[in-house]
């Protein structure tokens, strides 16, 4: 794997990843990419994501697991057994952060909850990730990204008005929760270095999904009108959406008066600049559907890429609608290294999504392949028993 001469920012921090599936593992992988020693504590059967997805790899682990668990070590422990629990306590003494995503109440029954662990390690930052939080009327419900999107309001503004419910195409609640949990735990870790006291962090998919509603709820609190689906358009400005050209759709945004005037000139439609229905942003929003129908008459004369090139040259934001393969394999995705290949003892070369943030002074490194189940049992146990000898 890649060699790093400058210490990574989180080098020396130990994180116990006692989580499965997505939000917790993804958050812990971000920490591992930045140098943290992340020990993935798995039940003897392994993280259930190891066997997820509808296709087989060479080995037992899914491509999804391989994309959320690089740079970690794997330790299998039966936390329901006395022996497994006692070793976890020894491990917790050496840790800075614990991330778990059991349903509220489960860690208390296993006696690995925050109140128990902080007696062993007062500086521990203990992150609990759940569907709906550690308290409240929905706290004990099982929660996945779909439920969080539906019950947070996200699905109420996704898709087109009057049509079937649509969820966001990517797991916004899972990934959002991973990011917010990471923000919280790093803040708490910094605080613990000053005070000597850690804390319990309550992160939920529900809260995280709701946090994305800034524009929608600002609109609701200001007008009293509940937000509704807008398709690809935007409640702040128009035209700002996908529009249809001769060969298909592209996206564009003329979000202010200057850009609107440029667009009208580009379309050779001077009649639209001061049109009574489109003269201001407010009027264009009010009459969005008629506006889009009108400008698409002009867009229909040329192909989408031609329009994108022409609009960019004129200083109007625009872009093509790409598939994921097109985005990852295109010239910009390639330049940004958003697909990388890492070595794996069973799979050989395996593709991973690249680092989403570039640390230019201390670049993230792939130091370890996504671990095989229990791959580091002996190594980690030897470390812990050596410390307690």
- The values of phi and psi at residue 76, to 5°, are -95, 130
Pairwise CA distance, residues 267 & 247, whole Å: 17
| Pick from 376, 368, 344, 370: nearest CA to 76 | 376
Evaluate whether 277 touches 291 at the Cβ level (below 8 Å).
yes
Structure tokens at 133: 């939080």
Residues composing the chain? 389
Q: What is the dihedral of CA 333, 33, 38, 115, to 10 degrees?
A: -90
Q: How far apart are CA 200 and CA 122, in angstroms?
A: 11
How far is 30 from 327, CA to CA, in rounded Å? 22
User: In DSSP terms, which residues pair with 199 in a beta bridge?
Assistant: 125
What b-and-e string marks burial along 14-27, b requiring 16 or more CB atoms within 10 Å of the CB? bbbbbbbbbbbbbb
Asked if 37 is an active-site residue, the reply is: no
H-state helical runs in 50-144:
63-66, 82-93, 106-110, 114-120
Is residue 180 helix, strand or coil?
A: helix
Contact 124, 96 (CB under 8 A): yes
Residue 71's nearest CA partner among 112, 19, 124, 34 is 34
DSSP string, 356-369: SS--SSS-----SP
The residue annotated as part of the active site, out of 17, 61, 174, 202, is: 174
Q: Which residues are catalytic?
A: 174
């Amino acid at each position: 794997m890649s060699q790093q001469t400058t210490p990574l920012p989180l080098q020396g921090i130990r994180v116990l990843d006692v989580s499965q599936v997505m939000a917790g593992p993804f958050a812990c992988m971000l920490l591992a990419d930045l140098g943290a020693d992340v020990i993935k504590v798995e039940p003897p059967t392994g993280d259930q994501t190891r066997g997820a997805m509808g296709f087989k790899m060479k080995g037992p682990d899914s491509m999804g697991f391989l994309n959320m668990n690089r740079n970690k070590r794997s330790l299998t422990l039966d936390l329901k057994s006395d022996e497994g629990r006692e070793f976890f306590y020894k491990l917790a003494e050496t840790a800075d952060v614990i991330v778990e995503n059991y349903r509220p109440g489960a860690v208390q029954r296993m006696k690995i909850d925050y109140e128990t662990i902080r007696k062993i390690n007062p500086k521990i930052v203990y992150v609990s990730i759940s569907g709906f939080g550690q308290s409240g009327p929905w706290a004990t419900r099982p929660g996945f990204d779909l439920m969080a999107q539906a019950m947070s309001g996200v699905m109420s503004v996704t898709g087109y008005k009057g049509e079937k419910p649509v969820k966001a195409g990517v797991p916004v609640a899972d990934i959002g929760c991973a990011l917010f949990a990471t923000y919280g735990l790093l803040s708490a870790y910094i605080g613990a270095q000053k005070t000597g006291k850690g804390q319990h962090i309550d992160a939920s998919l529900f809260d995280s999904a709701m946090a994305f509603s800034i524009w929608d709820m600002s609109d609701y609190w200001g007008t009293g009108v509940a937000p509704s689906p807008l398709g690809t358009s935007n409640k702040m400005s128009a035209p700002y959406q996908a529009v249809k050209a001769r060969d298909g759709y592209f996206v564009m945004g003329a979000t202010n008066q200057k850009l609107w005037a440029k667009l009208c000139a580009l379309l050779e439609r001077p009649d639209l600049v001061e049109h009574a229905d489109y003269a201001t942003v407010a009027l264009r929003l009010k009459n969005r559907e008629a506006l889009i129908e009108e400008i698409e008459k002009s867009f229909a004369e040329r192909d989408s890429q031609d329009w994108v090139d022409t609009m960019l040259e004129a200083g109007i934001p625009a872009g093509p609608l790409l598939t994921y393969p097109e985005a990852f394999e295109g010239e910009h995705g390639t330049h940004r290294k958003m697909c990388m290949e890492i070595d794996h003892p069973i799979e050989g070369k395996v593709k991973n999504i690249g680092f989403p943030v570039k640390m230019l002074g201390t670049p993230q490194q792939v130091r370890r392949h996504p671990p095989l189940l229990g791959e580091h049992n002996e190594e980690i146990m030897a470390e812990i028993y050596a410390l307690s000898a």
